Structure formats: structure tokens, C-alpha cells
Structure 1
Amino acid sequence: MALKSLKKQRRVQVVALAAVALIISTGLIGYAMRDGINFFRSPSQVAEAPPAPNETFRIGGLVEEGSLVRGQGQTITFNVTDGGATIPVTFSGVLPDLFDENQGMVGTGRYINGVFEASEILAKHDETYMPKEVIDALKEQGIYQEPSS
């Protein structure tokens, strides 16, 4: 009889240890990803409800025509728009080759004092591709046009 209760006790210990390990690993994964999850916002969403300056997020839309200014050194400023709102963007670094006015882009960064300070800029990689979030934001504002084949 003692042997049976010992096996049962051992089984309960193993299950409890597995549950604790699962909880700890889930917590560690969540902690590690806290900065890795960047929510997408359109320029209209940023204008309506500006995120906190310490929140990193992605913004996407079209680079507004006539707004691209290459400053001193590697600092570049431009506006990103979805037709409903326009957000000024500043970026220090090298822009992708396909980055240009009236082209789709997605930037990762923070919105500080009314300016989106981008840490990374992505541009569409061919003539027809545009990220789904950007297409949805442009469709919502009624300015998205299907690419001609």
C-alpha cells in the first residue's frame, strides 16, 4: 500500500513541477517579447489618439508628395499620409532603395512631440506590393487604387 501512495505522490509532484515550469516559461516569453510586439497604426489613428512617447509602434501609408527633405548628414524628414491625416516623420539612417514620394512605406518608431521618430523604415519591394495594413488604412480613407497590371 505504501508503494502505491509513493507513486501517486511522485506523479503529483511531477505534474506540479510541469505546471510551474509552464507558467515560468510563459512569463519569460512574454517578458522577452514586450518590446518586440509593435502595433500598426495609420496616420489617422495616430492623429485621433496619439500614443504615449515611450510606446514603439509601426505607422504606414504613402510618402506625401513634396514632403521628402534630405537634411544634413543622414537625417531625412517627410510626411506619411493615408489621405485622412498626415504625420511628420524624421529618420536618421539609410533609406531603402525603393523609398520615394507617393510610395507605400512602413516605419517603426515612437511619436514624440507631434513627430514620428522612426528607428526603421521599410518600403515596398516591387511595383505592386504594399503591406496589407497600409492598403487597409488607405481603403478606409478612400484613396487606395488597385495597381494596374
Structure 2
Amino acid sequence: MKSLKKRRRIQVITAAMLALVIAAGLIGYGFRDGINLYRSPSQVSEAPPSPDEYFQIGGLVKEGSIVNRDGVAFDFVVTDGATEIPVAYVGRDPRPDLFKEGQGTIAKGHFREGRFEASDLLAKHDESYMPREVVDTLKEAGVYQDPNS
């Protein structure tokens, strides 16, 4: 009788461990593209990511840098006040209405051959808003100006 209880306990523990390993594997698989790290232009230039890494870059759109191309595609430069990174928007959506030169933006995509290929753009949603990550980046670079002052 004891050996049957012992065997059943071992089976239950083994099944629980197997379920835990499968759950951890599924969570890891789900996060493989789901974690988008934010980087400033300075961080990208100091340690360029691999061409396959999908991440977010943010900063200010450099004055005079927006160049329209065919369709909804366009190029611009994002800066944190210390470093500039050229960006090519290759997404399918039109440019956000509040996407302007001198304003904060976050682009999502890949850094390839010295430029960032953005598939998505996030722009502020009103005249006074700027993404927190962009504000932090600009403060670190010493170029942040509070729009309310």
C-alpha cells in the first residue's frame, strides 16, 4: 500500500513539474516579439542593436528633416539633443496629424545599415503631451524644455 501512495505522489510531482516547464516555455514564446525595449538615439549609436531586434526609439523630430516619399512613406531624423538617427518610415498608415518637426515621437522598428526603419509611429495626442520616455531622454541630455513654462 505504501509503495502505491509513493508512486502516485511521484507521478503528481512529475506532472506538476512538466506543466511548469511547458508554461514557462509558452510564456517565453509569447514574449519573443512582445517586449519592445525603448532606446534613445545616443543609446542606439553607442551600442547598435542587431538588425533583427525590434525596439522603440524616441526623441524629437529634427527641424527641417522631414522628407516625403511615395505614398505614406517619409524620412526624418530623430534626436535627443546629443545624437541624431535617420529614420525611414516604411509603415502603411498615414503620418499622424500631430507628428511635426520639433515635437516628440516614438518609432517602432529595426535599426539596419545605419538608419532606423520604422513600421509604427507614435506622436503626442495633444499640444502639451510628450511621451515620458522622450522627456526622460531629453532631460538626461540637458535639452528638455517644459512646454508649460
Work out whether the TM-score is over 0.5.
yes
Q: 2:77 maps to what in 1?
A: 79
Using the TM superposition, give the Cα deviation of residue 40 of structure 1 relative to its aligned residue in structure 2, in angstroms. 0.8
User: How many angstroms does 1:11 deviate by?
Assistant: 2.4
Counterpart selection for 1:11 from 9, 12, 31: 9
Match of 2:37 in 1: 39
For the residues of structure 2 that align with 1:14 and 1:128, how far apart are their CA atoms?
A: 58
Between the two proteins, the alignment pairs up a number of residues equal to: 147
CA distance in 2, matches of 1:26, 1:117: 32
CA distance in 1, matches of 2:33, 2:126: 29
Does residue 68 (structure 1) correspond to residue 66 (structure 2)? The answer is: yes
Q: What is residue 114 of structure 1 aligned with on the other side?
A: 114
**TM superposition shift of 1:31:** 1.5
What are the ranges of 5 or more consecutive residues in structure 1 without an aligned counterpart? none
Structure 1 residue 6: Cα displacement = 2.1
Matched, 1:139 2:139: yes
Residue 58 of structure 1: aligned partner: 56
Residue pair 2:72, 2:95 contacting (<8 A) in 1 also = no
1:102 aligns with 2:105: no
The alignment yields a C-alpha RMSD, in angstroms, of: 1.4
* 1:32, distance to aligned residue in structure 2 (A): 2.1
1:124 corresponds to which residue?
A: 124
Find the aligned partners of 1:129 and 1:113 in 2 and give their Cα distance: 32
Deviation at 1:108, TM superposition (A): 0.6
TM-score, with normalisation over the residues of structure 1?
A: 0.91
Distance 2:124 2:21 in 1: 40
Offset of 1:42 from its aligned partner? 0.2
Stretches (4+) displaced over 6 A? none
**Consecutive unaligned residues in structure 2, runs of 5 or more:** none
**1:129 CA drift (Å):** 2.4
Give CA deviations for 1:31-86 in whole Å, capped at 9, x if unaligned.
12111111111001111111111111100001111101111222110000000000
Look up the match of 1:24: 22
